[in-house]
Structure formats: C-alpha cells, structure tokens
Amino acid sequence: MEPQIEIDKNKDALESKENKLSNAEEKKSEEMDEEGLRKQGYDVILCGTGLTQSILAASLARAGKSILHCDSNDFYGDMDAVLSLGALIQWASNISDGAGDDTQKDQHSDEDGKIPLRASESSSVRIDSVLNPRLGGMEELEKGMSVITPYGQGRLLENDTTSLAVQLNEWIMADGKSPVAYFGRPKLENESEIIPLDMFLYKKYIESRQRSFALDLSPALLYADGDAVDGMINSGVSEYCEFKSIIGLNLFMKSSQKRLGSRSSKIEEPKATLSRVPCSKRDVFQTKLLSPMDKRRLMKFLQIASDYAIAMTSTQIVPPSTSQGDEDDHDGLNKNEIEKEVVTSLNERQLQQGRSLYRPQNKIVATSDVEVLERCIQEGMAFDTYLTEQHKLSDHMKKVVIHAMAMGSYNADISEYSTKDGMNDLCRHLQSLGKFGGTAFLVPLYGSGELSQAFCRSAAVHGATYLLRRGPKNVQIDESGKTCGVVVNGCSYDHDEVVPSKFIAANNVVLPVQMLQKRPHAGESALRVYRRISILRGKLVKNEDANNLLEKEQRHVIIIPPGDDLIDNKSVIHGIALDESVNVAPRSMNGVDTTILYLSTVSKDGDGGEKHLEKAVKSLCGDDCMELFHLSFSFEHEIALNDVKREKEVGMHICNSRGMAITAESAFVEAKRIFEVLCPGEKFLSLSKIMDDLVKESRAGLADDEDDEVKMLESAMNMIGASESDREEMHVTENSS
C-alpha cells in the first residue's frame, strides 16, 4: 500500500499546484484588460522614455508604485535615444514628413477637461540639413570637386553640357604637370564614369558598415563624482552599462601669447587651435593658452575654488551633535575653526587621491578668500564680474574658466550666469578630476542612449508596464482640477490589426514640457537648441606626443567659446568626439579611421545656428579630416516653452529636458525633484521595504512551487561541481606528493 499512498500524495500536490495557477490566472485576467493593462489604472503614468522619465520610472517602481510608461516611438529614449545610421536617416525622414506629430494641431485651448499633447519630445524637431548620397546631398558635380575616375583620383576642371574635364592628380607627365582627361556626359546618372570623392568614400567606409554605428540624438557624459554615478551604483543600474573615461578636455581658441613671425620680425596674430584644458598642476604650467602671469592667477583661483568646494561639503563630514558631551566638545571652537579643521583634513584626503589642483598640505586655507566668495554669492554677483573684480582674470582666462572648466553659460547673455551657479559647476568638475582617468568625465559604451534603456529595464524588472508606439493624446482633468488619467493614441500592427485609442486612469501624470502645445506669439523669435551629428574620415584630435594607441583614441570633449572670428558664434559650442574605442563607430578599415563628432549650441531662430555648427566642423577638421555624413537638426529650448508650463492642475508634473548640456546630471536632479513630490520621505533610486518584501515573497513562492525536475537538475549540478572540486583536490595532492 505504500506506493499507492505516495502516488496519492503526488496527485494531490499536482492538483493543488494546478488550482493555484488557475486562481492566479483568473485573478490576473480580472485585473487586466485584453492588452494586458490594469483596469483600475496606475499610480503614475509617464509620457515619453527620455532619460529623465526613465530614471524617474525606475525610482518609482522601486518605491512600490504601479507605473505605466508610454512612448509614441518604437524605440526607447525618445530624444535621448541611440540609433544606427539607417535608423537615424529614417528618423530624420519621418520628422521631415511630419510623422512625428500626430496630434490635432489646431487645438490650442483646453476643451471639456482635456489638455491636448504633442505625440513626443521630438515634435518640435526641425531637420535643418542632411549630407547623405542616398538623399541626394552629393549627387551634383561641381567645378573644383575631387572625383574618382577609371584612371584614378582627380579634380574637376570643367563641367559643361557636353563633356567633363578632369585633371588626374595621380599621373605626372614629363613636364611635371598632371594630364587632363575628358569624359562624355552619360545619358543616365548610374552610367557615369566619374564619382564624387565624398560619395565614393561614403559608400566604401560608411554605407557598407552602417549597422556598426551607434549615434546619439542627445549625447551625454557623466561626472565621475556626480549624482548620476552615485544613483547608478546605489540602484544597481550600473550593472547594465559599461563606461570609459574621456581622454582629454580641449578648448578651441587663440593663444594669449603672441609670437614673432618666422620670415619677419612682425608679431603674428595667433590662430585658433585645439589646446588641452589644464586638468592638473602640470597641465596649467605646460599649457600654451595662458601667459606665465595668467597661469599663477589661475592656480590661485582654483585653490580657492577647491577650498570652497570642501567647505560646502564640511556639513556632510562633521556629524551632528547627538549628546550633551558632543556639544561640550565643540564649545571652545567657533564655526570658522571647525571649518578650517575639516577643510585641512579633507585636503589631505584629496591629495592622497592625486588631486593636484588642490591646495598643498603645508599651505593654510585662506578663509578670508572663501568669505569674500560667499559674500559675492549672497549679493547675486555675476560670475564674470566676480572673476574680473576679485581675481583680475583676463578675458582670455575667463573663457577658460567659465566655458571649459565650469562648462556653463549656455546662452549668449553671460551676465545671467551667477557666481553661485558658476562655482557649483566648477566645483563639481574639480571634485570629479582624477577619479577615473585624467579628466572628470565618463562616457557609456554603445552610446549614451544605453542609459535610458538601462533604467527602463530596471523599472520593468520592478513591475513597470511599457507601452511603445502608443503616445499620449491628451490628459484628462476633472472639475476640481485634478488629473484623472491619459488618453493614449491608437496604433496599427504589421498584421493590419488596428488598436483604438483608450483612456487609462491615473492620479499622477509626468510629461516633458515639449509635449505641451505652445501657443504661437506673433513676431517672436524662439530660442532653439541646434545639434549636428557628423561622421568624419580620420582622427579629429591628434596627439603627436602619444606613446601608445590608447592615447590616440578619440574620446574628447571640445569647447568653442563664443566670439570666434571664423565661426562667428554668439553662444558657446559644445562638442564630443568619439570613435571605435567606445563601440559607436566601425573599426579601422585599410588604415582609415572613423570619428563621430557631436556639436551643439543655442541660438535664436534665424540667427544662423546651423551655419555656426557647419563652420565649426570645417574649422576643426582642417585638411587631414573629412566629413562624409552629417545630420543637423534643432528643437525648441525649454526657455521658449516656459509660457506653456502647467501648475494649476493637481497631479500633473512637468519635467525639463537637458537642453544642450553634455552631461546627464540635470536629468538626475530633475527626476529626483519629481520623485520627492510623489514619494515624500522615500529614498531616491533604492529598493523600498514594500518591494523588498514582495521580492522575498516571490522568491519564497517559487521555491515552494519548484517541480521535481528542477530539484533533480540542481542536485545533479551540485554533484558535478562536487566531483570537479574533488578531482582538483586529488590533482593538487598528486602534484604536491
């Protein structure tokens, strides 16, 4: 009878397991609709999968909130996405055709408690120019153009209706001149014997390997000691990404030191060149950007800035008083003495890490300079004025500090850049120096769009629901002004299945300001962010003194201050140059390298922002580097959208984009701001107790429901591991004997 009893027990266990699964499926079907969405709605609906919304989604899901994340695109990231070359060209084509905005464009007012929305953040994007053979950008032959013929490379001399004259550069006659070959005009374009050099190189080095490109719409770097790195490490999202350090921070400007000409005694005006921004004491004294007097003044100012940075963090180092004894210990010390003691100890700590821009150990902290700085901050003094009046910095040096070190003042009006903002930006840069590599920045492998995907993946793991190709149509508001939910657009799938639009309930809605429809104003000139993505043939930043291949890799930040004579830019231009070392470009082919160059600036619409970036590429490339492809586009700056921000509706949260900033810090700050409103008292980007308990319960449930096959498989794997370890021990014993 024992076998029969055992069979009955197994049968009962199997029936119990089937009943549990059946009840779970019935419960799930009651809670979900036919698309797998919660019938009772969600705690928060996030519109768009940009970096800020993705970070926020991961933090809210970890806090136990029910999340719906929707996006009208079929890829993650929206304006923070990373695309292949083919996908980028298709994205630009969709924008040009108006496929990015499928909202009702004639709605400019709220009707029946509905706030109309644009389909995505890219709805305000405008394609300014594209250089691509497949789009007809390099088809026409022009006089002076470099071309490829059946007899080699040459230069087009004449281009009339009957024939084409080409001077062959690769051939030399007895008189030392190159011959001229004449070609008849073909009847069909695809029968032409002459191909523009740009088109030939594009097809050879780019078109055939277009899937090897990973191009960012909005490239982003991370400060090595910033909020972004801390958030990714604390949340574990860093396990989804890989990073490398930026090799150099370069400034494109003229040297302050004038030199004598080689053929005459006249003083020549220096030309603008790429020079490394000093990131250490050695760099400061070796740079050719500054005169000896400027170098000493810069070192003195940077030491004061480091003292200020440490003083600001002293409140985090000195523990608060928890007993009467602690208060008695500090009775004999005033605030300045405590700060001086903390600053001195922190300086020693920083020096151990190799922070060579910090004050030496045997130097006393100049607290009076820090007090002057704090007074200027309280008075709201402009950063430019502070550098001039308190430190006597020249205009040349102020450009180095403001634009290259602080990396601030994105707009043309530098007077709006306060001392408080300038010092905060500068100190964040100084504190990140030397932590990973020689600069303060990290760059993600495979494109910075991986950051958005990593946080979306983390949110999905913690229970968030994702809905792509279903962007928001409008936000529903009740009579009291509270948010009720979002109506998402319908879509059609490949098998002609049409899904209609539907309403999804939620008490809170998060959306970027670009999705709110802006009311047009007559005669206004909106501020726009201009971006240019260029694929270059060759290396952009050349390091002749490099001792190894790693130092020749293209991972550089480029800053072009405003007012360059050739570029004529009114605002600063930020650039990032990357290559195959971070897996965003194909590997070298036939000794030819490929570099990706990202440029961005801010300009008023109609002031030539796209032309400034075009001139910047030509100035940076010179004769050794050639641009084979570019895409230039622009979108509305958040300043131009301030008039559409909504604050009266309860439960509607508007987030700003990064604009033209090349770091991801502002996205983390913005996500944390909204998170603290939605989850007061909760820790940002950490696993809440509720979610921790749910994970433990889920793991416990899985352990109870494991079938015999799983247990047998684990037992077999353990036996294999034990036998292998036994064999290793026997092998070690034999060798020792």
Q: Going by C-beta distance under 8 Å and a sequence separation of 6 or more, which residues neighbour residue 292? A: none
Per-residue pLDDT at 76 exceeds 80:
yes
When mean pLDDT is compared across 348-362, 425-439, 703-717, the lowest value belongs to 348-362
When mean pLDDT is compared across 472-486, 532-546, 549-563, 723-737, the lowest value belongs to 723-737
Work out the average pLDDT over 480-487: 89
Please report the pLDDT score of residue 353 as a whole number.
38
671 and 655 Cβ atoms separated by less than 8 Å: yes
User: Which of the 8 DSSP states describes residue 405?
Assistant: I
| Angle, vertex CA 582, rays to CA 580 and CA 585, nearest 5 | 35
452 and 77 Cβ atoms separated by less than 8 Å: yes
CA dist., res. 514 & res. 342, Å (int) = 45
422 and 406 Cβ atoms separated by less than 8 Å: yes
Alpha-helical segments (H) within 440-587: 449-461
Residue entry with tokens 């089937």: 18
Per-residue pLDDT at 527 exceeds 90:
no
Residue 564: other Cβ atoms inside 10 A: 18
CA-based R_g, the chain, Å: 31
Percent of the chain clearing pLDDT 70 (strictly above): 69
When mean pLDDT is compared across 51-60, 276-285, 653-662, the lowest value belongs to 276-285
> Is the dihedral angle over the CA atoms 94, 99, 101, 105 positive or is it negative?
positive
Largest CA distance in the chain: 115
* DSSP SS3 for 5: helix
Which one is predicted more confidently, 376 or 185?
376
Per-residue pLDDT at 694 exceeds 70:
no
- For the record, the structure tokens of 530 come out as 């201009």
Per-residue pLDDT at 56 exceeds 80:
yes
Amino acid, single-letter form, for residue 161: T
| 465 pLDDT tier (thresholds 50, 70, 90) | very high
Q: Going by C-beta distance under 8 Å and a sequence separation of 6 or more, which residues neighbour residue 287? A: 275, 276, 277, 278, 295
pTM value?
0.79
Q: How far, rounded to the nearest angstrom, does the alpha carbon of residue 573 sit from its chain's CA centroid?
A: 16
Work out the average pLDDT over 12-20: 59
- For the record, the structure tokens of 685 come out as 């980007």
490 and 501 Cβ atoms separated by less than 8 Å: yes
Please report the pLDDT score of residue 589 as a whole number.
78
Q: Which of 4-8, 100-104, 203-207 holds the top average pLDDT?
A: 203-207
| 96 pLDDT tier (thresholds 50, 70, 90) | confident
635 and 527 Cβ atoms separated by less than 8 Å: no
- For the record, the structure tokens of 664 come out as 């991801």
Work out the average pLDDT over 464-485: 89
Per-residue pLDDT at 198 exceeds 50:
yes
Which one is predicted more confidently, 698 or 677?
677
For the chain, give the mean pLDDT.
Answer: 76
Per-residue pLDDT tens for 622-680? Answer: 777 888 899 999 988 876 555 555 556 788 999 888 888 889 998 999 999 999 999 99
Work out the average pLDDT over 349-364: 46
Q: Tell me the backbone φ, ψ of residue 222, rounded to 5 degrees.
A: -120, 135
Please report the pLDDT score of residue 220 as a whole number.
93
Per-residue pLDDT tens for 141-159? Answer: 777 778 888 888 888 887 6
Tell me whether strands 652-655 and 243-245 are parallel, antiparallel or unpaired.
unpaired
Please report the DSSP string for 311-330 in residue order. Answer: HHHHHHHSPPP-SHHHHHHT
- For the record, the structure tokens of 266 come out as 């006249």
- For the record, the structure tokens of 318 come out as 């000195």
Residue 188 zone, left/alpha/beta (φ > 0; ψ -120 to 50; rest): beta
Please report the pLDDT score of residue 687 as a whole number.
64
CA dist., res. 484 & res. 507, Å (int) = 6
Amino acid, single-letter form, for residue 546: A
CA dist., res. 19 & res. 82, Å (int) = 46
Per-residue pLDDT tens for 542-558? Answer: 875 555 556 678 899 99
